């Protein structure tokens, strides 16, 4: 059983009031806890163990090929911390197969987080919309393979500043 753990980091877009954060947490939403200093990149640290996990149940997708309506992974555990200027998400899931390569009609293992610039229930889950901008933090196994093995024709090496996505 393959159990990937992925750490995604990006710029923090805004902060909610403590009362709003508590209300969201009470309703089962993911709340990013503030920590002092640099964000921990090691998922075994106390920082990550203290972060409250939220289990996200996954649906199939019928938007693009291969249109799998019954996902092979049915849930992802997500934790989050921030330091006031950066935010990090730790995601893990159980997967029956390790899919490190992408082929026609078959995706590699991958995960993404959508963070709306202005949170609301009206933001589409399909990567935002006109007037509803979102930040997408994304990890894909095939991209990591390209970086690990330095296959130049497959990896341009271009990454936005502060972008970090890795299996840890």
Map out the domains of the chain as residue ranges.
5-167
DSSP state of 144: H
Q: Label residues 123-140 b or e (16+ Cβ within 10 Å = b).
A: beeeebeeeeebeebebb
Q: What is the pLDDT of residue 26?
A: 65
More confident residue, 79 or 9: 79
More confident residue, 82 or 10: 82
Q: Which pTM value belongs to this model?
A: 0.71
Tell me if 31 sits within 8 A of 80, measured CB to CB: yes
Q: Is the dihedral of CA 108, 91, 165, 134 positive or negative?
A: positive
Q: What is the pLDDT of residue 23?
A: 63
Q: For residue 62, count CB atoms less than 10 angstroms from its CB and return exposed for 0-12, middle for 13-18, buried for 19 or more.
A: exposed
Confidence band of 159 (pLDDT split at 50, 70, 90) = very low
Q: What is the pLDDT of residue 19?
A: 58
pLDDT, tens digit, for every residue of 128-151?
888 888 888 888 887 776 555 655
pLDDT, tens digit, for every residue of 50-82?
998 989 888 888 877 778 788 888 898 999 998
Confidence band of 13 (pLDDT split at 50, 70, 90) = low
Residue 30 φ/ψ, nearest 5 degrees: -75, 130
More confident residue, 161 or 97: 97
pLDDT, tens digit, for every residue of 103-118?
666 777 888 888 888 8
Distance CA 72, CA 74 (A): 6
Q: Label residues 88-115 b or e (16+ Cβ within 10 Å = b).
A: bbbbbbeeeeebeebeeeebbbbbebeb
């Amino acid at each position: 059983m393959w159990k990937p753990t992925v750490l995604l980091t990006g710029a923090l877009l805004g902060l909610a009031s403590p009362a709003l954060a508590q209300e969201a947490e009470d309703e089962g939403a993911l709340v990013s806890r503030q920590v002092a200093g640099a964000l921990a990149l090691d998922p075994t640290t106390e920082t990550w163990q203290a972060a409250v996990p939220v289990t996200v149940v996954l649906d199939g997708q019928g938007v693009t090929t291969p249109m799998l309506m019954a996902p092979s992974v049915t849930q992802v555990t997500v934790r989050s911390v921030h330091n006031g200027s950066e935010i990090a998400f730790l995601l893990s899931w159980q997967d029956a197969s390790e899919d490190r390569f992408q082929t026609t009609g078959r995706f590699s293992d991958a995960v993404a987080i959508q963070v709306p610039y202005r949170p609301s229930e009206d933001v589409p889950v399909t990567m935002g919309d006109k007037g509803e901008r979102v930040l997408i933090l994304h990890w894909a196994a095939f991209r990591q393979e390209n970086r690990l093995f330095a296959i130049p024709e497959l990896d341009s090496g271009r990454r936005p500043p502060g972008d970090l996505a890795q299996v840890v």
